[in-house]
Amino acid sequence: MRRGLLSTTWEKSGLTVGGSTVRFVDPTGGRVQLTYDSGRLLGRSDPRGGTEWRMTRACSAADQVFHAPHRGSMVNIAALLFDIARRRPQLQAVSDGVHAWTYGEFAHRISRIAGGLQGHGLEPGDRVMLCMENCAEFLEMLFACWAAGLCAVPVNARLHAAEVAHIAQDSRALLLVATPGLATSLGPLERAVETLSAIIATVGDGYAALLERGTPLRPVAGSPTDRAWLFYTSGTTGKPKGAVLTHRNLLFMSHCYYADIDALDERDTCLHAGPLSHGAGLYALPHLLRGGHQVVLPHFEVEAIIDAVRRHPRVSMFAAPTMLTRLVHAPAVAAADLANLRTIFYGGGPMSVRASTSFTVRASRR
């Protein structure tokens, strides 16, 4: 394990220490002192004062990149995913049977879509509604919104058009992105909801333009309390109401997952059989921020879940109680190979003790 103290003056050509080149990005120049240990930053000091250094790539000592962040607090969930993409670009990030993207590819697409959203006239704080069936594009749109400083408003794909119209009006969404079938049925909302400037289908010229015409955009600096996800209630006791989830909320939720459920790394798979607009999408975050693979199924189907568990390592998934009950009673589960199933986390209603115990016993026998 190498350990040392670097004290140098910034030069564009870089600095060689012990045979390893350490590169810096410092637009102001000046003298900075860094303590490092096997590629990990241990301490920092800056005789000039006022500049806080942040490590953005944790590789070997020969491949460290540091840069001075924006003044003030820099909190953006998308920036954390971009860090994963820089460190481990070859890892599998998202697949859905149509697309299969590595973290490098995923971050590149997010960057281009974020630039496309900005080119569409959207500014930080604006709301973008996502009315999408389960697909890889949901996750890239979610992170593209955050990279551009926008607030995502995901809604259940099964809602009636009138319910979607209420949420669009209430949230004052400026753009609606939908999967093709939904984009067609929701077309009238472009005229009915005064704030909506356009409805873009994930297959078509509009979505292609977001990808191809925008200037790639890195995650913008933001505040911990910036809105990230406007999560609408089901409307059981009245009209749906938007609950604000900030970037800090989502980051804290991810840390709670690591502390209370599982420690994750790049070996883990998160299987999405429930709607990404709800719990499944939220729980994608702790897995993505640790380099895990997201496997997206178009809908809940027992045979597809069994097949995915068989093919992928260390599988975790979100399931509403009704989904787990269906799994318990499915004949195919009794003979299925569930050795790769790691964790099922649930929510959205009370869980039957009998159902959870039954499934746990079945899974433990495999």
- CATH code: domain of residue 323: 3.40.50.980
Give the model's confidence band at 328: pLDDT under 50 very low, under 70 low, under 90 confident, else very high.
Answer: confident
* 237 shares a domain with 109: yes
On whether residue 106 sits in a domain, the answer given is yes
Write down which residue in 232, 252, 272 finishes a domain: 252
Q: What is the pLDDT of residue 308?
A: 97
Mean pLDDT of the chain: 81
pLDDT at 10 over 90: no
On whether residue 318 sits in a domain, the answer given is yes
Q: What is the pLDDT of residue 264?
A: 97
Instruction: Give the CATH number, domain containing residue 243.
Output: 3.40.50.12780
Write down which residue in 201, 231, 252 finishes a domain: 252
Q: What is the pLDDT of residue 235?
A: 72
Q: What is the pLDDT of residue 357?
A: 64
Q: What is the pLDDT of residue 92?
A: 98
CA–CA distance, 64 with 36 (Å, rounded to integer)? 10
CA–CA distance, 169 with 151 (Å, rounded to integer)? 15
- Is 333 in contact with 306 (CB distance < 8 Å)? yes
CA–CA distance, 258 with 56 (Å, rounded to integer)? 22
* 333 shares a domain with 194: no
pLDDT at 159 over 70: yes
Q: What is the 3-state secondary structure (H, E, C) of 282-344?
A: HCHHHHHCCCCEEEECCCCCHHHHHHHHHHCCCEEEEECHHHHHHHHHCHHHHCCCCCCEEEE
* 239 shares a domain with 110: yes
* 185 shares a domain with 115: yes
Q: What is the pLDDT of residue 317?
A: 96
Instruction: Pick the most confident of 13-27, 40-54, 295-309.
Output: 295-309
* 226 shares a domain with 324: no
* 333 shares a domain with 201: no
Least confident piece of the model among 199-208, 213-222, 357-366: 357-366
pLDDT at 251 over 50: yes
The residues facing 175 across adjacent strands are 128, 198
Q: What mean pLDDT is predicted for residues 36-56?
A: 40
Q: What is the reported pTM?
A: 0.79
Least confident piece of the model among 30-44, 68-82, 133-147, 154-168: 30-44
Write down which residue in 67, 90, 118 finishes a domain: 67
Give the model's confidence band at 355: pLDDT under 50 very low, under 70 low, under 90 confident, else very high.
Answer: low
State the residue for tokens 């859905």.
96
On whether residue 15 sits in a domain, the answer given is yes
* 248 shares a domain with 131: yes
Q: What is the pLDDT of residue 329?
A: 87
CA–CA distance, 92 with 270 (Å, rounded to integer)? 12
Q: What mean pLDDT is predicted for residues 232-254?
A: 90
Task: Provide the domain limits for residue 219.
Answer: 101-252
pLDDT at 73 over 50: no
Number of domains comprising the chain: 3
Give the model's confidence band at 74: pLDDT under 50 very low, under 70 low, under 90 confident, else very high.
Answer: low
